[in-house]
Amino acid sequence: MTDIWRLSASRIATLIAQRKLSAAEAARAALARLDAVNPRLNAVVDHRPEEVLARAAVIDAALARGENPGPLAGVPVTVKINIDQAGFATTNGVGLQKDLVAVANSPVVDNLLKAGAVIVGRTNTPAFSYRWFTSNRLHGRTLNPRDAALTPGGSSGGAASAVAAGIGHIAHGTDIAGSIRYPAFACGVHGLRPTLGRVAAYNASSPERTIGGQITAVSGPLARTVHDVRLGLVAMAAPDPRDPWWSPAPLTGPALPRIAALCLRPDGLDTQPEIVAALLDAADRLRDAGWTVDELDALPPLKETAAIQIGLWIGDGYEAMVHSAEREGDPGALAALAGQAAIGAGMTLEKFSAALVRRATITRQWQQFMERYPVVLLPACAELPFAADLDLQGPEAYARVWAAQMTMVGLPLTGLPSFVVSTGMSGSSPVGVQIVAGRFREDLCLVAGEAIEARGVPPMPVD
């Protein structure tokens, strides 16, 4: 039999439901894989093997009684260290929060447990989840399992590194400016940023988020197959009254024409040849699957959208963010904030109000555009995955990183779902594409993603 840790989440779930594999066996395989590769990768930074095995035993006992513990019964998963899991510190990669122990689960954790999942560990993030590179003074540096010289992405770099290396079968991540999608791109897996309001979020351990974070940050799944991303979304999207933004929208919408727009250089993005080639290849894969793909020179605004998104995110409480970063002394967090000082420190109530007004206009433009094109194919990033810590190599390197990430930063402002699908390798670097669909139409992202995936992905998991 293939190593258990190599199997997809859906296969694990099927075998356990058929009693051909026990949850305990799947848990032990996940823990063994963690022990084998995590000392090098540092993807998981907090885990308790005895609790993992106890949870698996609960699932096996329920199955023995003829009960159905849920669609993810016995499937090993990971969660990011910036969400509450009762009994664990919600550190967010910050030493100042090393003793911030949660007394209750976040909605995502509760929903994964209700679906029967077994949480095998908590994954690393950069300090305050600010960067597309994952290191911090508290937990250390996470490596990319495909090439240690490349960033694993961030801020869900630990999540992507773990699932790419076979530590768990589905990973939880969060995304305010690419923090699910970019790690998926960098580590060569798939990552979905759901629609705002699709997956309930709340950390009782922490103060309420400012409005900028409330209307742009989401949780979502990363996995090695598109089908597993779908399974993760179904589990995470269950109702929870603690999130006032959660919406009871159906997970599958009405049938729409299979028409996609392809844009290689939105708003003049300096898309590199390897990324252009991946996009053209993905468009051909869609056409082979029966889609109509129209190549366009322009989309609704993204460059302006990215600037507004930065203002709502970093400008909403900038001085407090800088003060916390200074207390923490994390060089990555300090650099991330210093690079956006012109926007953050210059934010006023009038500018903030104008940004919210403009957000409505831009979101409307995107929604109207997607009446014509239900799916949009565009760069995930303008470049192949960055070298580790490129953003700390001076002002020019910092500016290069943020310019290349325009689509990562801009799309969250619209609230639309976006999905990064890994399509192959360019040397030692993974490469992939980004798919956008209408509000609450993650199903269209996934259907298009499966058509692209069917023609080839990088080897997964990474040995």
Indicate the DSSP class of residue 72. Answer: T
Helical residues (DSSP H) of 121-225, grouped into ranges? 157-165, 181-187, 211-214
Terminal CA-to-CA distance of the chain, rounded, Å? 17
Which amino acid is residue 63, in one-letter code? L
CA dist., res. 331 & res. 127, Å (int):
9
Pairing of strands 259-262, 375-378: parallel
The Cα 325–Cα 321 span in angstroms is 6
Supply the residues annotated as catalytic: 80, 155, 179
Q: What is the DSSP letter of 246?
A: -
Map residue 66 onto helix, strand or coil: coil
Asked whether 224 and 460 are in contact (CB, 8 A), the reply is: yes
Q: What gap in Å lies between CA 147 and CA 92, rounded to an integer?
A: 25
Spatial separation of the C-alpha atoms in residues 430 and 121, rounded to whole Å: 25
Place of tokens 């990064």: 420
| Radius of gyration for the alpha carbons in the chain, expressed in angstroms and rounded | 20
Compute φ and ψ for 343, nearest 5 degrees. Answer: -80, -50
State which H helix or E strand residue 44 sits in. Answer: strand 44-46
C-beta separation of 196 from 215 below 8 A: yes
What is the Cα–Cα distance from 300 to 303, expressed in whole angstroms? Answer: 10
- Structure token digits, residue 184: 């998926």
